[in-house]
Structure 1
Amino acid sequence: MSLTENAKKYHERMFPGYESVAIKKDPEFIERFDNFAYDEVVNQPGQELPDKTRWMAILSTLIGSQAVVMYERLLPAAMNFDVTPIEIKEIVYQATAYLGFGRVLPFLDATNKVFEEKGITLPLEGQATTTPENRRELGTQAQVDIFGEGMKDYWKSGPEESRHINYWLADNCFGDYYTRTGLDYAQREMITFCFIAAQGGCEPQLTAHASANMNVGNDKKFLIKVISQCLPFIGYPRSLNALACVNKAAEKN
């Protein structure tokens, strides 16, 4: 068995002029993986995604599954498929709300390392649109825009002892991240779906964000494409769980 022509061409687009060392050490495995991930999956009829969208989803999935080594290796490839430095930083920043900074820090460090190696000046241009005074209000508006009018007063709902967490969802999760420029709501909901699907064990939240994706235009067919294109990097169990959540959300919608 050897690499298909499609896999070779795709790999050349990922890493122009690079000769794989891994295929010399583990030829049978790499041939099977590359032919699957970079030919069969990419070219599956009806499951194709635009290059940039596919790589944004893959980067988000790698962060969600804590695959920092592969993230660092594939980050230059994502940039070769036109994912911009600002879009990459926005993906990493938003992951903090869904994974926590302890799990995101290695990816922030890896991103800065790759950027510096490529001569990209840091910090990048700021993307914040809120202030300490209006972040809760604008965060609530983002929740309403994405989930519907039922979120208008969610920030002050719930038992008194835990009401502050709903407030934080408005001012921090949505007010600090979703209000930033660099990505639109549809892109932010897609990467959130990938973060949650990849980490596993958060199916109620995954179903809710599958529904939110549908609200902002990322329909069931689109989400199945995202799952399909990320499957080589996330594995079958979490991909099947994500598919079940999408089906559940579609039934409710």
Structure 2
Amino acid sequence: MTMTTEPSLSPQQEAIVPMAAYAATGDLSRLNVALGQALDAGLSISDCKEILTQLYAYAGFPRSLNALTALMKLLQTRKEQGTADVQGREPGPVPVGEALLEAGTENQTKLAGAPVTGPLFEFAPAISLYLKTHLFGDIFCRDNLDWQSRELATVAALAVMSGTEPQLQAHMRISMNVGVSAGQLRHLVQVLAERVSLDASERAQSALRGQH
């Protein structure tokens, strides 16, 4: 009998999980460790900056700014210690004006698997516009980080926060839509349990179970 190995996260993808989780909770001491592990695993400086910047959309500006400050300080320390971290590439240009709205709407549809509509967006059309133009436009049009990595970071951040279960379920689906396998998401659940918290792992497990 041939044994098949379930797909798992790469070392770089695995390193995103605790980094995003601790950035989202503001646990800077554990974040510092996770950032060092992420850089050692092969994530570039650009990768880390992009993940921590994107997280403001899910965890708020204060947590994102504090996490970026922690990264900046860690990079300086590592440089002084003789560690040459890979810079990585900067993103290409992002559309503006009407082209940004069109690109963001297209990105949102691809990620969700269908056009995103509903009573909430009719009740508060401004939030729909902000999602399309800013989150799925300004952020998801930045091409220096792939969508799978963005979604792994988002799922980890939402899993570690309480009260975000509907969004966590949605991003489990989105992760699958952009090519993250169920096996890789089970690996993410395991990483949360081993490196973050059982509560976060259980929330992620429940959201993943809801996809079947």
Normalising TM by the smaller chain, what interval? 0.7 to 0.9
C-alpha deviation, 1:240, in angstroms: 0.9
C-alpha deviation, 1:198, in angstroms: 1.3
Which stretches in structure 2 are left out of the alignment for 5+ residues?
none
Is the contact made by 1:128 and 1:176 (CA closer than 8 Å) also made in structure 2?
no
| Moved segments of 4+, more than 6 Å | none
Larger radius of gyration: 1
C-alpha deviation, 1:128, in angstroms: 4.9
C-alpha deviation, 1:189, in angstroms: 1.2
C-alpha deviation, 1:74, in angstroms: 3.1
C-alpha deviation, 1:157, in angstroms: 4.3
- Count of paired positions: 201
Aligned mate of 1:158, from 122, 130, 142: 122
Counterpart-to-counterpart distance in 2, 1:212 and 1:77: 26
Aligned partner of 2:91 in structure 1 is 127
Counterpart-to-counterpart distance in 2, 1:82 and 1:147: 29
Aligned mate of 1:213, from 169, 172, 175: 175
The RMSD of aligned alpha carbons is 2.4
Aligned partner of 1:234 in structure 2 is 196
Query: Partner amino acid for 2:31?
Result: Y
Aligned partner of 1:82 in structure 2 is 42
- Tell me if 1:149 matches 2:111: no
1:125-148 Cα shifts (integer Å, max 9, x gaps): 541531431322211111111112
Aligned partner of 1:55 in structure 2 is 15
Which stretches in structure 1 are left out of the alignment for 5+ residues?
1-44
Query: Partner amino acid for 1:244?
Result: S
| TM-score, normalisation: structure 1 | 0.72
| TM-score, normalisation: structure 2 | 0.85
1:85-130 Cα shifts (integer Å, max 9, x gaps): 1110111011011011012111010111112233479x98541531
Counterpart-to-counterpart distance in 2, 1:178 and 1:236: 30
C-alpha deviation, 1:81, in angstroms: 1.1
Aligned-partner SS, 2:49: helix
Higher relative contact order (CA 8 A, sep 6+): 2
- Tell me if 1:184 matches 2:131: no
